[in-house]
Structure 1
């Protein structure tokens, strides 16, 4: 007895959904198996994204080196990882105090990281600090601090673990950057500058170390949204509607758990570039390259209306 024609489409949908579910489960299993026994360094493990990464990689059997500026938070994270895991399938994480705003300590930090296992398989540079302010109000000291944390710190640590990677002819360096490493928006001058610098450094590094079997990946995302979306606020009717629309799209951030999972998938799939952004920011990137005067006009109009200045993250 044949299947009624009206049932064909629902059955196809169910079948496709089943295949998709199985595919995702296989990918998740492969991701975890590929990082088992790997030495993984997370530079800001006590942040939202860092904590999510720590849990994912720890459950997958990685040998974690967790870095952070606060010892109490590192110990708290350590306790939560040990409590929620099977000691027969996981390794106890090692903890290292790391503060990129103190560049004088970087030599000792690199030595401590390398002393843990003697080498690093995966380095995840996810430390970052943001600043929202008009250019004229940002001091030189603040500029330097942001550059230390967002650029000089990650690049210095990478240089420190690089010799061992080169001698072993393997390794993976991941920069968790920002879409503002490619697209600058108003009131983010120091932040965007540091992200542009980091993007350029790791792009150069990718080409220079490829012959040693070392992979360099950059993940560009919109702002990290760790909170629930705020309630809608009524705005003045005379605001620039197009600029308002762009700002509303750019304000749709990525959840820490989503970004952490993307980092794990990047290790698995060995992707060199990942973009986590909604369509409007992607379109803005194309406009920056193909029609820059138009984009500049839109951004300037947004500043005049105080829409982008208040809402862009």
Structure 2
């Protein structure tokens, strides 16, 4: 009597689809659990968000507000802060959330920073989480950037965040707890041509918060940096006309270096970073990650590629 194999064939056919479904289910459940834990861990925590009226700041405000955090929202425009306040309070249950507190903070006016720090601390007497989110961008050749513009970018991207952190750190040291999150840029680790001032300010911020992390570790204070590529709410528009004749490798790397991440994805990464207490996060596609390794292992090759890309960019502009 021969064994019957037909009944065994069907399960083997559906094994792969079943594995995919199960894996997808496990991944979904895992994300939901992490999301729930991330929200629960910020409940009742005092969370400061700088540049809260930006796309990313607004996403973070909604996410932390729903999680029950005591928000202190900073921005340089009162009307926009009030509008964000209305959005948060109108869409939430007042028995489960706290009404945000608003603070005018303009990093371009460094003389006002002492008052800003005092006002932030006075809101609740302490700060549990500081999210430094402000950023000023510039794309231009080195020789065309004025010293005044250099200083403005350094104020916004470096001196502002570092000064606010210095002002808040003493309250965290007294309580021996706290978390500072710097939303930086991958250009704080990898400089790209025509963004000299921006990259310099981001490198400075990266170095400052790296030093700060080591200095405050003994007090139970966490410091995290999130290095992302370009923040965008939508896909970049397609280029019109034929593609210019550029160095293929340089164009490929350059296109991926500016490939964006949405504010919602970045906001979720921020709350996960607070939950997991991760030291460093690189939120980028594979090509920028590879470029970071090339910068350390084969710098001459990367410099040659970036120089070729810069030359092609200049030639293209001259031909237009």
Scaled by the length of structure 1, what TM-score is found?
0.96
Deviations 1:162-191 (A, max 9, x none): 001001000000000000001111111110
Deviations 1:138-174 (A, max 9, x none): 1111111100010000000000010010010000000
Give yes or no for contact 1:244–1:307 (8 Å, CA) kept in 2: no
Q: Which residue of 2 aligns with 1:92?
A: 99
Q: How does 1:118-137 map to 2 (within 5 A)?
A: 118-137=125-144
Q: Which residue of 2 aligns with 1:79?
A: 86
Q: Which residue of 2 aligns with 1:288?
A: 295
Separation (CA, whole Å) in 1 of partners of 2:243 and 2:56: 35
Separation (CA, whole Å) in 1 of partners of 2:81 and 2:132: 17
Separation (CA, whole Å) in 2 of partners of 1:209 and 1:99: 26
Q: How does 1:210-221 map to 2 (within 5 A)?
A: 210-221=217-228
Which of 215, 229, 233 is the equivalent residue of 1:222?
A: 229
Per-residue deviation at 1:132? 0.7
Matched, 1:271 2:282: no
Matched, 1:5 2:40: no
**Residue ranges of structure 1 left out of the alignment (5+ in a row):** none
Separation (CA, whole Å) in 1 of partners of 2:196 and 2:242: 26
> Secondary structure at the residue paired with 1:306?
helix
Compared with structure 1, are the counterparts of its residues 147 and 308 closer, same or farther at alpha carbon in structure 2 (3 Å cutoff)?
A: farther
**Residue ranges of structure 2 left out of the alignment (5+ in a row):** 1-6
Compared with structure 1, are the counterparts of its residues 14 and 106 closer, same or farther at alpha carbon in structure 2 (3 Å cutoff)?
A: same
Separation (CA, whole Å) in 1 of partners of 2:150 and 2:309: 24
Which of 157, 166, 175 is the equivalent residue of 2:164?
A: 157
Which of 205, 209, 228 is the equivalent residue of 2:212?
A: 205
Deviations 1:47-68 (A, max 9, x none): 0000000000000000000000
Q: Which residue of 2 aligns with 1:47?
A: 54
Which of 143, 151, 166 is the equivalent residue of 1:144?
A: 151
Which of 157, 167, 173 is the equivalent residue of 1:166?
A: 173
Per-residue deviation at 1:307? 7.6
Give yes or no for contact 1:244–1:308 (8 Å, CA) kept in 2: no
Matched, 1:246 2:276: no
Per-residue deviation at 1:79? 0.1
Matched, 1:26 2:33: yes
Compared with structure 1, are the counterparts of its residues 111 and 297 closer, same or farther at alpha carbon in structure 2 (3 Å cutoff)?
A: same
Q: Which residue of 1 aligns with 2:117?
A: 110
Separation (CA, whole Å) in 1 of partners of 2:165 and 2:149: 23
Separation (CA, whole Å) in 1 of partners of 2:315 and 2:197: 17
Give yes or no for contact 1:121–1:172 (8 Å, CA) kept in 2: yes
Give yes or no for contact 1:179–1:222 (8 Å, CA) kept in 2: yes
RMSD after superposition: 1.6
Separation (CA, whole Å) in 2 of partners of 1:287 and 1:307: 24
Per-residue deviation at 1:236? 4.6
Separation (CA, whole Å) in 1 of partners of 2:130 and 2:108: 19
Give yes or no for contact 2:50–2:134 (8 Å, CA) kept in 1: yes
> Secondary structure at the residue paired with 1:66?
strand
Per-residue deviation at 1:20? 1.5
Separation (CA, whole Å) in 2 of partners of 1:307 and 1:68: 37
Give yes or no for contact 1:243–1:307 (8 Å, CA) kept in 2: no
Give yes or no for contact 2:244–2:316 (8 Å, CA) kept in 1: no
Give yes or no for contact 1:187–1:309 (8 Å, CA) kept in 2: no
Q: Which has the larger radius of gyration?
A: 2
